[in-house]
Structure 1
Amino acid sequence: MYKINAVSKLLDMPTVTIRSWETRYHAITPKRTESGHRVYTEENVNDLKWLKKQVQDHKMSVSQAVQLLKIHKGEIEKEQLIDNTINHSFEAQINELFDATLHFDSERCNQLFDLYFSQFHYKTVFYSIVVPLMYKVGDAWEKGELSVIKEHMISNIVLQRAINFFTIFHSSPVLPKVIAICPEGEHHQLGLILFTLFLKEQHYPVYYIGADTPLDGLDELIKEKDIEIVAISISSDEHELKAQKYIDILYKQNPKLKFIIGGLGIKESKKQEPRWDVSPFDKDWLNIMSQINDYKN
């Protein structure tokens, strides 16, 4: 057991911060002595250490970090958090972010994301706010109402937010390693980001390369990192032939590889081993990954 001053010194955290995280955010529940003084268990200290790392290293809000901690510890269910927002309209949040994008105000965009991630589960933010926002941004760009520079700004902010979450989930050494790419010329990576978040949440080791990945040198990287699954995202059917070219060349070089292709460019889910196509409307990703893992080349 530790007294609060010992915890403060051990974690280099002010006692007022520890008390705030305890009382305001319900991050930990210390025990009490007979005289009423707080005493902290080893678990309390480890939880505070983990929370501090998320806040300082990954730039998460305290409430967001506490929410993730409680999910990891099984104190609340992800589905419960998401269900609480099913009937919630996010039009106001989408419009606020869109307006900040129109005004090329990256600081405002980040402030809004800080707020939304503190209010809602991260999957709710990505699926109910980010996805419709990026559709709205894309439509405005196509109509000439928003410049490509502004589209790049919000896309990069979304990517950085996602990368923060990629680092939170630990990777299982028993699951197959995945590399996540968009083929050369494909710059839309939102679908790949969402699928990578799903994989990371399931504790798959994922090497996220992202948009516009060249074929040159990819086979060496796959061999070096012992990759077993290649996840490819395409936003339109015009990239289908290029994606198939990647598959043909990489599979010839490594016949043990498996491929999963998703994004708006895939119209229907189907499997033609070693390739699995996943339409944007197919959300049974757990079953698909189970099929891929069970398949033996």
Structure 2
Amino acid sequence: MAPQHFLSQFSDKPRYNTKAVAQETGVPADTFRAWERRYGVPRPQRTEGGHRLYSERDIATIRWLRDRTAEGLTISQAIALMIEGSDTSLSWLNTAVDTEPHTWERMQARMIAALTDFDATRAEQILGEAFALYPLEDVFLKLIQPAMVEIGEQWHAGRLSVTAEHFATQFIRRKLSSLFNTYNVTEGRGLVVVGCAPSEQHDLGALMLAVFLVRHGWQVIYLGPEVPVKDLLDAVQHIQPDLVCLSASTTETATQLLEIGRALQQLPPPTPLFGYGGRAFNLNPVLTHKMPGTFLGRDAQEAVENVASLLSRSR
């Protein structure tokens, strides 16, 4: 159905606040507010106090754009598609499309500067712009992940304080946790446990994988950093997941996964599959040679694809 005919079915009476729209659509508020700033879509009205109020038509518009971007279009392409199929009621969109070029390197530099300056407001704006332009997975793999690697390297080299690194990490963790809670399902394609090695404190990579998995329809139980071996084994026997995915960023924590992989194989049936990944294996691929289980790939996107392949074969 052409966008204008589809959208015309819905009321344009303003009724819903920002939180309600985010819950109804599953699209983070930062994202559709960035669409509004850059493209003029959606078009909420304002209360006397200046708060946005959205209509059912606005919600339908956000859902339509969400579905187009989920199909692989960028948001600018989705807006252009809406314009192409529109009548005069959407003609104002023609002047709203911003064709200013953006590069990942430019956005990375801006994000690093904002986070290391403790400027959450500016970081929110940069992230909102990125979500408005690109699919969520691309934003995390091509903007957030490289920016956090650079921040980590600056900290290791002594050019950045511990407090700045912690601020950046907590900012990104909040974003990932919010997305995980937005998309997480109680039933899905299969049950996956995600966490980190017993001494692994850096869990952003594991949390990113959890977000990517729930966005692809998997049910995920996220255990976070520093998961003790005994507690993990007890939980696995109780939960009976299809797959256990664990992350390690150093050689020391990667070695701990060797023990866990072997222990999982010794559990009574049904025995879950075991997958692993993380920076340690990317930097030193030889670590995978004696590791039980399956190396899931160099990033969260590869891991999602390998999880799907691994579980489809096992069934």
Same fold per TM (> 0.5)? yes
Whole-Å separation in 1 of the counterparts to 2:27 and 2:73 = 27
**5 Å matches for 1:112-261?**
112-169=126-183, 171=185, 173=187, 175-255=189-269, 256-261=271-276
Shift of 1:238: 2.7
1:228-257 CA distances to partner (integer Å, 9 max, x unpaired)?
211011123332220111222333234411
Alignment counterpart, residue 80 of structure 1, candidates 73, 80, 102: 73
Distance 1:49 1:134, change over 3 A: closer
Distance 1:287 1:107, change over 3 A: closer
Shift of 1:161: 0.9
Whole-Å separation in 1 of the counterparts to 2:158 and 2:103 = 27
Whole-Å separation in 2 of the counterparts to 1:76 and 1:279 = 24
Distance 1:111 1:82, change over 3 A: closer
TM-score (norm 1): 0.71
Mean alpha-carbon deviation: is it higher for 57-66 or for 173-182? Answer: 57-66
Counterpart code for 1:98: I
Counterpart code for 1:158: I
Shift of 1:52: 4.2
Partner of 1:69: 63
Conserved 8 A contact 1:104-1:150? yes
Whole-Å separation in 2 of the counterparts to 1:234 and 1:83 = 37
Partner of 1:277: 295
1:59-94 CA distances to partner (integer Å, 9 max, x unpaired)?
54425797873366x445542228979x95222221
Unpaired segments ≥5 residues, structure 1: 1-25, 32-38
Alignment counterpart, residue 278 of structure 2, candidates 263, 279, 288: 263
Conserved 8 A contact 1:181-1:210? yes
Shift of 1:49: 9.3
Whole-Å separation in 2 of the counterparts to 1:272 and 1:291 = 19
Partner of 1:30: 8
SS in structure 2 of the partner of residue 114 of structure 1: helix
* Aligned-residue CA RMSD (Å): 3.9
Unpaired segments ≥5 residues, structure 2: 36-58, 78-98
> Do residues 40 (structure 1) and 40 (structure 2) align?
no
Mean alpha-carbon deviation: is it higher for 243-252 or for 229-238? Answer: 243-252
Conserved 8 A contact 2:116-2:168? no
Conserved 8 A contact 1:166-1:200? yes
Mean alpha-carbon deviation: is it higher for 55-64 or for 165-174? Answer: 55-64
Conserved 8 A contact 2:22-2:28? no
Conserved 8 A contact 2:191-2:220? yes
Shift of 1:284: 7.0
SS in structure 2 of the partner of residue 265 of structure 1: helix
Shift of 1:98: 1.4
Conserved 8 A contact 2:243-2:272? yes
Whole-Å separation in 2 of the counterparts to 1:273 and 1:207 = 23
Whole-Å separation in 2 of the counterparts to 1:82 and 1:293 = 31
Shift of 1:172: 7.0
Conserved 8 A contact 1:269-1:276? no
TM-score (norm 2): 0.67
Counterpart code for 1:286: E
Conserved 8 A contact 2:19-2:29? no
Shift of 1:97: 1.8
Amino-acid identity (%):
19
Shift of 1:140: 0.5
Whose helix fraction is larger, Structure 1's or Structure 2's? 2
